[in-house]
DNA sequence: CGCCCCGATGATATGATATAACCCGGGTTA
DNA sequence: TAACCCGGGTTATATCATATCATCGGGGCG
């Protein structure tokens, strides 16, 4: 094995820090820890699950500690909130974390619990078009699809 | 005035009771009350707001009382949950509450707070297609669009 | 230097949303 | 009758999220 998983995460964190800095934000220790926990979890994580883990590093961490970090990470496009789950996932759109952020969709597998991120222009266009027909001016669309992922379907 | 608003709601409730019965369910007093409150509110309502109102009729109502009723009403397609708001709205698709229920979308106005229900086949098709490309088998799609409704745009 | 501002964090409290666990009574049915 | 399910009561707790005020440290500036 040439790379340990920690290396991959460390690289992602460094990239994230750069991206924040470029926007005038700072990926502080707390924020970095929370992001690392989310990336490391490999799936959707609740705020209090993060809090429990964070307490291993920072005994004094409180809910608000986590939520402040989550807010920052969301504002910077590093994580997404999955509304159906009240949970958070790492953003998998590598690199440019700014110009899309509006036409993102999620595929939630009911079997294995994984959440895949997708960016499909066709969906975004269909939403825009349908909303526009009623005179509605869309700002942001939450699209979360539940079902069975390819792996689980094959395994079945 | 030939019809009071209460009449319209009463008719909707009776229709709902029939629809439930046809599926082997029972629209009990509690469930009927909760549905009436949601319809009467004319917009998204939180579970605890419903609880407060329900307590006027049933002093012993507890959170779980409301949530059980909400679960039943959702299973029977009489209401929808708006994930972004953690709130519930009455289903406006009159009549046949069964064969769609999968391709429904919501338009949430940030100005006036109204939620409009939409059934757009184009969106459903785009979601299906995009998900299918990754081998994902969709079950249900949550589509909630936030923005400004036609009325609020005109008024601006 | 001394001062001020501001962003990040600490500390505490509270509000809001949702489910778990257990029991009980009434109706159906084997 | 016994076994069972469904609807509901009761209590407790888990989870999600925000409000408020205090503190601390760095950077700009007189």
Q: Does residue A9 sit in the same domain as residue A84?
A: yes
- Domain boundary among the residues B40, B55, B90 is at B90
- Across all strands, nucleotide nearest A25 (CA–C1'): C7
CA dihedral angle for residue A70, residue A76, residue A79, residue A85, rounded to 10 degrees: 60
Mean pLDDT, residues B140-149: 98
pLDDT in tens, A40-81: 999 999 999 999 999 999 999 999 999 999 999 999 999 999
Q: Does residue A27 sit in the same domain as residue A59?
A: yes
CA dihedral angle for residue B48, residue A61, residue A39, residue A32, rounded to 10 degrees: 130
Q: Does residue B127 sit in the same domain as residue B75?
A: no
Q: Does residue B85 sit in the same domain as residue B22?
A: yes
Residue of A81, A110, A127, A155 for testing the chain B interface, max B β-carbons within 10 Å: A127
Per DSSP, helices labelled H in A58-148 are 63-75, 121-133
pLDDT confidence of residue B6:
74
Q: Does residue B49 sit in the same domain as residue B77?
A: yes
Mean pLDDT estimate for chain A: 93
Number of DSSP helices (H) and strands (E) in chain A, helices first: 6, 5
- Domain boundary among the residues B50, B66, B90 is at B90
- For B91, the token pair is 């289903």
pLDDT surpasses 80 at B3: no
Q: Does residue B121 sit in the same domain as residue B61?
A: no
CB-based contacts with strand D under 7 Å?
Answer: A 46-49, 62-64, 67, 71, 81, 86-87; B 25-26, 28-31, 58, 60-65, 68-69, 72
Q: Count CA atoms within 13 Å of residue B125 on its CB side.
A: 6
List the one residue out of A107, A141, A144 whose CA is nearest residue A126.
A141
Q: Does residue A112 sit in the same domain as residue A85?
A: no
Query: Can you give the residue range of the structural domain that contains A143?
Result: 105-155
CATH number (domain holding residue B119): 3.30.1490.190
- For B64, the token pair is 């779980």
Under 8 Å CB pairs connecting chains A and B tally to 131
Angle between helices A5-22 and A29-41 (to 10 degrees): 130
Number of domains chain B contains:
2
pLDDT in tens, B21-49: 999 999 999 999 999 999 999 999 999 99
Inter-chain CB proximity A125 and B127 less than 8 Å: no
A32-36, A44-48, B7-11, B104-108: least confidently modelled range: B7-11
């Amino acid at each position: 094995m040439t790379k340990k998983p920690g290396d991959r995460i460390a690289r992602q964190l460094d990239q994230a820090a750069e991206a924040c800095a470029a926007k005038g934000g700072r990926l502080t220790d707390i924020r970095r820890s929370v992001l690392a926990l989310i990336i490391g979890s490999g799936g959707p994580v609740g705020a209090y699950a993060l809090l429990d883990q964070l307490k291993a590093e920072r005994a004094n961490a409180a809910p608000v500690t986590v939520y402040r970090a989550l807010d920052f990470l969301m504002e910077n496009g590093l994580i997404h909130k999955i509304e159906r789950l009240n949970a958070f996932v790492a953003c998998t759109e590598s690199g440019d974390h700014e110009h899309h952020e509006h036409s993102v969709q999620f595929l939630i597998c009911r079997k294995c619990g994984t959440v895949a991120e997708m960016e499909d222009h066709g969906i975004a266009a269909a939403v825009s078009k349908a909303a526009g027909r009623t005179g509605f001016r869309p700002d942001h669309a939450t699209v979360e699809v539940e079902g069975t992922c390819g792996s689980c379907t094959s395994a079945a």
